[in-house]
Amino acid sequence: MDVINAFEKSTGKKLNYKIVKRRAGDITAAYADTRLANTELGWKSEKSLEEALYDAWQWQLKQ
Write the CATH number for 22.
3.90.25.10
The number of domains in the chain is 1
Sequential DSSP letters for 27-58: -S------HHIIIII-----S-HHHHHHHHHH
Q: Are 2 and 43 in contact (CB under 8 A)?
A: no
pLDDT at 37: 84
pLDDT at 30: 85
Range of the domain at 29: 2-62
pLDDT at 32: 81
pLDDT tens digits for range 15-60: 999 999 999 999 988 888 888 888 999 888 889 999 999 999 999 9
pLDDT at 31: 83
pLDDT at 44: 84
CA distance 62 to 28: 34
pTM of the model: 0.69
